[in-house]
Amino acid sequence: MVISKVDPSPAFQLVAEHPALDFINTLDWRFRESGPEELLQSYDHLLRFIEQSKMLTIKHIQLLHRNTRKSAGGRVLAACIELREAMADVSYAWLDGRSPSAAPLRTLERHFKAARLQQRLSWKGSQLEWSWSGKEADAELPLWLLSLATSDLMVSEAVHRVRACDNEECRWLFLDTSKNHTRRWCDMKICGNRMKARRFKAHKKS
């Protein structure tokens, strides 16, 4: 059985300035008392995220759909969620001033190494580059792409600009690229306005 064609909607809200952080945010309302909301319900959703994040072209996404069976898609989705939650554990521990535990670090290490082993070093034009030659139709390609995007961010200086939304129920992660590094919200139109309204109501009551 082959995975069905991508449903073009709904679109993911990509506000993090980095695909690895947007990927963590696919578990929405992570800290809400009533529980989070899983936005990745299927391999279809995973491929939609990859396409919207511009990690693969729509033509390549269609190739994966044609070649990925449901069982393989489910396996890859589970591995991607494992990767996402390990990165979330490490990221929120760091932001909260705690040292991350060993288990998520080992999970990240395993995924990072596995992804790098799938790449081939080739010569293109006048320089060397890593490629996915021979792996373009593998169902695991989204997992490898997300693993390397996560690895690139977490070992770079940019990781020190990772912030969490000030809405304590949301806490979506983002890369603070603002001029003065003062960004507070995942999206001003969503959490920024919501929290301002909450403070205004609290002030009126007092």
Q: Which residue has the higher pLDDT, 87 or 4?
A: 87
> Mean pLDDT throughout 185-192?
79
- The HSE-up count of residue 170 (CA atoms within 13 Å, CB side) is 20
Give tens-digit pLDDT for 66-79: 999 999 999 999 99
Give the H/E segment covering residue 27: strand 27-28
Fold of 19-205: Jann2411-like fold (1.10.3300)
Q: Which residue has the higher pLDDT, 75 or 4?
A: 75
Give the H/E segment covering residue 17: none
pLDDT value for 196: 54
Structure tokens at 129: 């580059």
Cα–Cα distance for residue pair 73/6, rounded to 1 Å: 13
> Mean pLDDT throughout 129-155?
92
Q: For the chain, which residues make up each domain, given as ranges?
A: 19-205
